[in-house]
């Protein structure tokens, strides 16, 4: 029975950094070769980064991706790793019959298709230039195999159907006498297709290249899916996932190798770059493999692997819910800052729970030197808010500054009299202007500290506390902000460290402190009530009658639903933030700003 040493590389790529991403591939190849690997597999679109979105519609970008792939193949050979087969994702354009004018199934196409492939006017509904989400098999200094993703997701955060055209054929490569089938991400989630074709082609190993974004509890779903598909394919299944932050997405790694019987043979770390190396004992491919329509076969090597000491495959333990969420937020924030050229972040420290959690996240992501905290007390700020902010800054060891805003607010009011909500909002806007002024002078990334509960109901001041280039808690409910704070403090204590977040910031009643004795519950239901209602309305998309049937109080439904609907215009102007739930504001939830529909009309 042949032995195949498989290496799966969880790498943190950056969209558009073709040279930097290629360097990551070359480094992974060097490590895999040193480990004696027979095959190296990298994530979906590892060479270009993922998601490329409408960059795929630019011929210049597709050409650059193709050129980078050929250079990578040559560089791998020049590095002395030409004998190591490497599967890597990249953007290509359709070849063969599809490029000659046969439109993808279910999509419009223009007859006489060379025009569509070559640069004339494209047919309606077909992406310009026929780009494809591909995987290339590199060996001996050249591309020896190619696979184009079949199933293009068009839901949630995914928009691939509008920028790619699907592939049709299955790639099966013989490596060390083992037949290895290739699929890409969504191909695994859909019934039939490449998984069924892999079984028909008698593949012994199915490798799946993925850039699957994080959301809570997704690990369990992935494992169940991999077990199910391995049984369907009648093969060992290797699932390699990307890691890192890209705009509002976080990729969590957690690569898997699952046996046909469902046994977990290897599992990668979550939220960390890693090379997983695992020895697989697999059946030998047939001497005369079946000629299956739609299957392209490539012969890389039939000689068995040499005798060697077996490696111990990594079996990382899954993280618990709060540890996982914290790691996702840290990675998302850190990568957004670094990949956009920021070494420091800046935001206001109010002494409250949201800014305290954001501060601890920032320090974990960028170190104490990577954060500037600004205390901006107004005439309504309480003494304990100031002392809580002081305590937090001392615990974290950050650059901490004091800029009272009362004189600035008074000067504005002396020229433009305001009262009530207008005066409250003025305080927030003065703070926002102050932060942006420091940022423009010194070059930090301003963070918006609002959480998902506040954003849902519009409980923030546009151009005030909503200012910022990134919002770490954008997809984190207020009740989970408290849970995160307690988890982070407990984790510090378990390591013998001082908890970073003052207990007073966790236990005191939340308040914007824009008028005397103000608390959030002057305007909103208790947060446990609010968050449960928001989960049903925002995430599960329940209507008014469904919310009432679910047990929510009529008064809360009428109040909260109205607040959520009226705040859509604010959310559209908000900063990006890491997606952590099944439905995050932005890509996942798209509602009109101008609409006369109201849930009470239901």
* Residue among 348, 466, 464, 467 nearest 402 (CA): 348
Distance CA 153, CA 162 (A): 10
Cα–Cα distances in angstroms (integers) from residue 448 to residues 372, 425, 435, 473, 534, in the given order: 13, 16, 10, 8, 21
Question: Which residues have a Cβ under 8 Å from the Cβ of 239 and sit 6 or more positions away?
Answer: 188, 208, 210, 222, 226, 255, 256, 257, 258
Q: Omega of the bond prior to 402 within 30 degrees of 0, cis?
A: no
Specify the DSSP class assigned to residue 470. B
Distance CA 478, CA 93 (A): 45
Q: What is the CA radius of gyration of the chain?
A: 27
Output the six-digit token pair for 222.
């992935």
* Residue among 386, 383, 389 nearest 354 (CA): 389
Phi-psi region of 432 (alpha: psi -120 to 50; beta: other; left: phi over 0): alpha
Catalytic residue among 122, 134, 160, 185: 185
Contact 109/126 with Cβ under 8 angstroms? Answer: yes
Tell me how far apart the terminal alpha carbons of the chain are, to the nearest angstrom: 64
Beta-bridge partner residues of 246:
249
Q: Is 339 a catalytic residue?
A: no
* Residue among 236, 240, 244 nearest 254 (CA): 240
Catalytic residue among 122, 134, 149, 474: 149
Beta-bridge partner residues of 244:
251
Distance CA 597, CA 299 (A): 60
Q: Is 185 a catalytic residue?
A: yes
How many residues in total does the chain contain?
A: 602
Catalytic residue among 44, 186, 454, 599: 44
Pairing between β-strand 256-258 and β-strand 445-446 as defined by DSSP bridges: unpaired
Name the residues annotated as catalytic: 44, 149, 185
């Amino acid at each position: 029975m042949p032995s195949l040493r498989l290496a799966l590389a969880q790498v943190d790529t950056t969209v558009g950094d073709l040279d930097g991403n290629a360097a990551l591939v070359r480094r992974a190849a060097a490590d895999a070769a040193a480990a004696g690997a027979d095959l190296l597999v990298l994530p979906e679109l590892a060479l270009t980064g993922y998601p490329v979105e409408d960059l795929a519609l630019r011929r210049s970008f597709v050409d650059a991706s193709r050129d980078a792939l050929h250079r990578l193949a040559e560089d791998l050979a020049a590095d002395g790793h030409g004998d190591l087969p490497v599967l890597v994702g990249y953007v290509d354009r359709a070849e063969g019959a599809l490029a000659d004018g046969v439109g993808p199934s279910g999509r419009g196409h223009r007859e006489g298709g060379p025009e569509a492939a070559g640069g004339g006017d494209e047919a309606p509904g077909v992406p310009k230039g026929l780009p494809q989400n591909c995987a290339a098999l590199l060996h001996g200094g050249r591309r020896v195999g190619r696979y184009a993703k079949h199933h293009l997701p068009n839901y949630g955060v995914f928009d691939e159907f509008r920028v790619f055209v699907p592939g049709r054929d299955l790639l099966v490569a013989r490596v060390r006498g083992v037949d290895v089938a290739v699929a890409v991400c969504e191909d695994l989630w859909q019934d039939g297709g490449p998984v069924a074709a892999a079984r028909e082609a008698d593949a012994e190993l199915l490798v799946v290249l993925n850039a699957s974004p994080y959301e809570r509890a997704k690990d369990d779903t992935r494992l169940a899916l991999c077990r199910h598909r391995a049984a369907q394919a009648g093969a060992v299944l290797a699932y390699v996932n990307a890691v890192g932050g890209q705009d509002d997405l976080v990729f969590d790694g957690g690569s898997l190798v699952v046996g046909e019987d469902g046994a977990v043979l290897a599992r990668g770390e979550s939220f960390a770059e890693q090379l997983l190396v695992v020895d697989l004992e697999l059946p030998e491919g047939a001497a005369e493999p079946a000629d299956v329509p739609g299957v392209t076969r490539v012969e890389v090597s039939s000689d068995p692997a040499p005798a060697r000491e077996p490696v111990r495959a990594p079996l990382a333990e899954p993280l618990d819910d709060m540890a996982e969420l914290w790691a996702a937020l840290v990675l998302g924030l850190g990568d957004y800052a670094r990949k956009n050229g920021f070494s420091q972040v800046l935001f206001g420290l109010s002494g409250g729970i949201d800014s305290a959690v954001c501060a601890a996240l920032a320090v974990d992501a960028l170190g104490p030197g990577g954060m500037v905290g600004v205390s901006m007390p107004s005439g309504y700020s309480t003494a304990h808010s100031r002392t809580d902010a002081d305590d937090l800054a001392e615990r974290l060891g950050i650059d901490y500054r004091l800029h009272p805003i009362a004189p600035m607010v008074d000067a504005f009011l002396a020229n433009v009299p305001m009262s009530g909500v207008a005066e409250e909002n003025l305080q927030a806007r003065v703070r926002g202007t102050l932060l942006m002024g420091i940022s423009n002078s010194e070059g930090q990334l301003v963070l918006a500290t609002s959480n998902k509960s506040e954003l849902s109901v519009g409980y923030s001041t546009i151009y005030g506390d909503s200012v910022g280039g990134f919002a770490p808690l954008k997809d984190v409910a207020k009740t989970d902000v408290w849970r995160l704070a307690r988890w982070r403090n407990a984790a510090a204590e378990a390591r013998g460290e001082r908890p970073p977040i003052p207990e007073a910031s966790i236990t005191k009643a939340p308040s914007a402190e824009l008028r005397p004795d103000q608390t959030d519950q002057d305007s909103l239901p208790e947060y446990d009530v609010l968050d449960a209602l928001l989960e049903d309305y925002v995430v599960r998309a329940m209507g008014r009658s469904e919310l009432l049937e679910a047990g929510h109080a009529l008064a809360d439904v009428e109040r909260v639903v109205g607040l959520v609907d009226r705040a859509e215009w604010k959310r559209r102007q908000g900063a990006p933030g890491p997606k952590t739930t099944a439905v995050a504001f932005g890509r996942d939830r798209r509602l009109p700003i101008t609409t006369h529909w109201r849930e009470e009309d239901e």
